[in-house]
Chain A
Amino acid sequence: MIKNILIVDSEANIAASLSFLLEHAGFSVHSACGYEEAMASVNHFCPDLVLMDAVLSDRSGYDLCQSLLALPGFANLPVLMLTTRGLEVEREKALSLGAVDFIVKPFNPAAVLGRVQELVSEAA
């Protein structure tokens, strides 16, 4: 069964490339550029994993993470956080607020792809 991946990133170029790579790897991908768009799409798209930037143009990615996990039926949704902030405390914060992993930009796309595949398998 094809798994759904929701990408939330305000950087359109990053979202475009990640979408292409994930779709090429066999996932169904939907992109949102911020909090509102992500919240609006989550119910009809029903993601199996969310790949999101910690810094969004409208609100914090952490807010989005908490809001998503609070939605009925999404409490165990795996959220993979991407961030431009390299501080170790950022990782702690992300994990504390519900993310399952945390990847600092810039990253190797293959590594992200591999991690997404792992997390989706674990969730299944």
Chain B
Amino acid sequence: MRAYRLPRLRKKLWTVVGATALGQGVVLAGLRFNPFGTVSPTLESLAVAWLISITGVLLVGLIIDRRLARPLVATARGADILASSNPQHHLEITARHWLDRLPDTLEQLGAALVRTQQAFDEAAQAAATKVEARRTRLETILREIRDGVMVCDREGRIQLYNRTTRDLLASEPALGLGRNISEVLNEGPLNHTLRLLVPTHGEAGSADAELVCATASGERLLRCRVARLVTDDPETSGFVMTLQDVSRQTRETLRREQALRDAVESLRNPLTSLNAASESLRLAQQEGLHNETARFVHIIAEENEKLTQRFTTLSDETASMVTDNWRLEDVHLGSLIEGIKVSADAEAIPRLQCRADVWLSAEPYLLSRVIEALLERLRAELGVTALALSGREEGSLVYVDLNWSGDVIAADQLDHWLDGGLEDVGGTVSLREVLQRHDTTAWSQPDLSKEGRAMLRLPLPGAPKKATAVDDVPARPEFYDFAIDDAEPHLGDTADAPLETLDYVVFDCETTGLEPSRGDEIVSIGAVRIHRGRVMHGETFELLANPGRPIPALASSIHGIHDDDVAEAPPVEEVVRRFHAFAGNAVLVGFNTAFDLRFLKLKQRSTGVEFSNPTLDALLLSILLHDHTGEHTMESIAERLGVGVGGRHTALGDSLTTAEIFMRLIDLLPGESIRTLSEAITAQERMIEFRRQQRAF
């Protein structure tokens, strides 16, 4: 995209040149067309001289502009970039200029600045090492904690959350630093609990409290323990919460209670019928009523069948109740076996060849102790020195097979093994009990595929399919911010708030075309949050949308999204609603924002959400700041500001690039006396007006 605005210095130059030329033109006109209608040769010569003079002035103006004014303007802009955002910036000036060594000197200054910055960074790095180590430790602890952890300030704004919290609240688009806790959790029970924590007149508030509350979307039920953070400074007080997902547990409890109630109730009718039929049978036999006797015998057989079926259901339910009281976890069989190899006495168990890349739902410690005990018995009693262990998924089960060369284990021998106790759990739990708690047992059989080999088969409950372990969160996710208390603007103060203190959501839409009013639709929205000057790589939004119409080949060739990709995607309205929740009250930022915003605003009626957020446009700000050039494509701006471009033409990729560009533009804006949101918006509106006028010409 090209956009051009004449800088002030050049405006002044051409005003002087223009005024001089105009003055000369007036004189020339006076001489060439005198009121007497005659032209004297003397005057003609004078006019030629004036004409030459005007041309000379224009030529001099042009040369001064080319050699001095333009390079000066470009040098001034470049100096801003060197000083504020990209010390390695190469000045965009023509080779022939009268600035002598000024540009080179400036670039050398930039290089010196880089070196100084590096030295400063190293010094700062060294000084911060201790603090960093502590922080890393804290982050590691938070990351590894099984429960979700969230810290909020006294206003309920989120200051910190760990990875588990992010996973628990994955369906809550409003989760983010600086957002209010009430946007992600059901407000009612939470506020009630928080009130309990606040000291009232004469009474100290509770130190902590527990509540069960739903997430804002209602998708999960969480058990939360909330504790007050008491500090000397009331300004830094707040509360810390731990979160546990009890949705499954609660659903399971309710389901099981209902199932048990139903099962018990379902026994009543067959039992009633059996009682009545038995009594009837007795009477019928007593009185020699053969037909009636046969009839009641049949009824008894029928009811017996019903009772047996219902007993089986009840029995299964009871078994699952017993199993569920254990904390069954998703366990990787390969890791479990590796653990056994490390902990067991290598001489006491056979050599293991393991092929076990499968997940189990198991109590890891006890199961590993059972497998270890079986391995010890195989070695000690059957003399097995090497065996192959494999795990194979089949339906909801994982078949763990121990396979060796030799004889099968006799059934009574295996029974004896299974009845043995596990030594280091006090001998109170037998191997069989552990297996029963996993709803399973073990048996030995010949390996029919290979002669002379035997196997011990142990079916175990499989874990739900694991997603491919792609972790899109950087090693140091920006999930924390303890600096929120520092003059965070409240709603209403946003206009006058310094730009670097605001929360932004940088977004981009990929679409089926350029004309939403003619039916073009969104096919993808990507966004990333900027919080207090940091691009939050862990707080991103990326959803495909089903546009409900074919995606033209031309559009697909740009963004790479095809009809098949969006066939299963949610409709555009749903994606827009979720994006609205993600954006909250943040300032919306885009690259040519008006285009994307138009698509969103056209969806306001059908979605019932309104995008009334303030908006900024990285493109307009770039044109405002860098009027020395007409190059304002995303790539050229990124190159100018030293920003790497990745994932171009994916909604999230473009959002991330725009976010980095925007951060650097914010650093440059004070050079134009733009420090607050309202100042930025005003300047942006001036740019819009300027471009409108430019187009009119």
Known A104-B268, A105-B269; judge A20-B275 contact (CB<8 A).
Answer: no
Interface residue from A17, A105, A110 paired with B277 (Cβ < 8 Å): A17
**How big is the B interface, by class?**
20 to 34
A110: nearest chain-B partner, CB-CB: B279
A104 contacts which chain B residues (CB < 8 A)?
Answer: 268
Tell me whether A14 is interfacial, beta carbon within 8 Å: yes
Q: B280 to A21, Cβ gap below 8 A?
A: yes
The reply to whether B275 and A106 contact each other, CB–CB distance below 8 Å, is yes
A11 near B280 (CB under 8 angstroms)?
Answer: no
For the complex, give the distance between the alpha carbons of A11 and B279 in Å: 17
| Most chain A CB atoms below 10 A, which of B266, B267, B274, B276 | B276
Residues of A within 8 A of B272 (CB): 11, 14, 82, 105-107
Tell me, yes or no, whether B92 is within 8 Å of chain A by CB.
no
Render B558-583 as a binary contact track against A, CB cut-off 8 A, 1 for contact. Answer: 00000000000000000000000000
Give the residue of A20, A86, A106 whose beta carbon is less than 8 angstroms from that of B280. Answer: A20
A26 in the interface, Cβ–Cβ < 8 Å?
A: no
25 A–B contacts from the bound complex (CB under 8 Å): A11-B273, A13-B273, A13-B303, A14-B269, A14-B272, A14-B276, A17-B276, A17-B280, A17-B296, A20-B296, A21-B279, A24-B280, A82-B272, A84-B265, A84-B266, A84-B268, A84-B269, A105-B268, A106-B267, A106-B271, A108-B275, A109-B275, A109-B276, A109-B279, A109-B280
Q: How large is the interface on A (under 10, 10 to 19, 20 to 34, 35 or more residues)?
A: 20 to 34
Nearest B residue (CB) for A53 = B269
State the Cβ distance, A1 to closest chain B Cβ, in Å: 23
In the bound complex, residues from chain B placing their C-beta under 8 Å from that of A84 are: 265-266, 268-269
Q: Which residues of B contact A109 (CB under 8 A)?
A: 275-276, 279-280
Q: Let me know if B104 is at the binding interface, CB within 8 A.
A: no
Contacts A13-B299, A105-B271, A106-B271 hold; do A18 and B276 have CB atoms under 8 A apart? yes
Interface pairs A-B: 8 shortest CB-CB = A17-B276, A106-B271, A105-B268, A84-B268, A105-B272, A106-B272, A109-B279, A13-B273
Nearest B residue to A20, CB-CB: B280
Task: State whether the Cβ of B292 lies closer than 8 Å to any Cβ in chain A.
Answer: yes
Residues of B within 8 A of A82 (CB): 272
A71 proximal to B (CB < 8 A): no
Q: Which of A56-93 contact B (CB under 8 A)?
A: 82, 84-86
By a CB distance below 8 angstroms, the chain A residues around B265 are 84-86
The distance in angstroms between the C-alpha atoms of A17 and B281, with both chains bound, is: 9
Task: From known contacts A20-B283, A84-B265, infer whether A13 and B271 are also in contact, taking CB-CB under 8 Å.
Answer: no
Known: A14-B276, A17-B273, A109-B275. A24 touches B268 (CB 8 A): no
Q: Is B302 an interface residue (CB 8 A)?
A: yes
Chain B CB within 8 A of A16 CB:
yes
Residues in chain B near residue A13, CB distance under 8 A? 273, 277, 299, 302-303
Q: How far is the CB of A99 from chain B (nearest CB, A)?
A: 17
Q: How far is A108 from B265 in the complex, measured between Cα atoms in Å?
A: 17
- A84→B268 CA distance, assembly (Å): 6
Partner among A24, A86, A107 whose Cβ is within 8 Å of the Cβ of B275 = A107
**CA–CA, A108 to B273, complex, Å?**
10
Residues of B within 8 A of A21 (CB): 276, 279-280, 283
Distance in angstroms from A90 CB to nearest chain B CB is 11
Report B527 CB to chain A, min CB distance, Å.
53
Beyond known contacts A13-B299, A106-B271, A106-B272: 18 more, CB 8 A cutoff? A11-B272, A11-B273, A13-B277, A14-B269, A14-B272, A16-B280, A18-B276, A20-B280, A20-B283, A20-B292, A21-B280, A84-B266, A105-B272, A106-B268, A107-B272, A109-B275, A109-B279, A109-B280
Say how far A48's CB is from chain B's closest CB, in angstroms.
Answer: 21
**A24–B276 CA distance with the chains assembled, in angstroms:** 13
- Considering the complex, which residues of chain B in the window 247-286 have a beta carbon less than 8 Å from any beta carbon of chain A? 264-269, 271-277, 279-280, 283-284
Bound form: Cα–Cα A79–B302 in Å = 29
- 1/0 per residue, CB under 8 A from A, across B289-317: the answer is 00010011001001100000000000000
A14 to B279, CA, bound (A): 12
A105 to B275, CA, bound (A): 10
- Give the residues in chain B near A24, CB-CB below 8 Å: 280, 283
Which chain A residues (1-44) contact chain B, with CB distance < 8 Å? Answer: 11, 13-14, 16-18, 20-21, 24
Contacts of A18 in B (CB 8 A): 276
- In the assembly, what is the distance between CA of A108 and CA of B274, in Å? 10
**Docked CA distance A18–B283 (Å):** 12
Q: How far is the CB of B465 from chain A (nearest CB, A)?
A: 40
Complex alpha-carbon distance, A21 and B284, angstroms: 10
User: Complex: how many Å from CA A20 to CA B281?
Assistant: 10
- Chain A residue nearest to B276 (CB atoms) is A17
- Listed residue (A82, A106, A110) with the most chain B CB atoms within 10 angstroms of its CB: A106
Q: Which residue of B lies closest to A107 (CB)?
A: B272
Q: Find chain A residues with CB under 8 A from B295 CB.
A: 16
Closest B residue to A104 by beta carbon equals B268
Please measure, in the bound complex, the distance between the C-alpha atom of A70 and the C-alpha atom of B373, giving whole angstroms: 73
Closest approach, in angstroms, between the C-beta of A112 and any C-beta of chain B?
Answer: 8
Looking across the interface, which residue of chain A has its beta carbon closest to that of B274?
A106
How far does the alpha carbon of A56 sit from the alpha carbon of B347 in the complex, in Å? 69
Distance in Å from the Cβ of A108 to the closest Cβ of chain B? 6
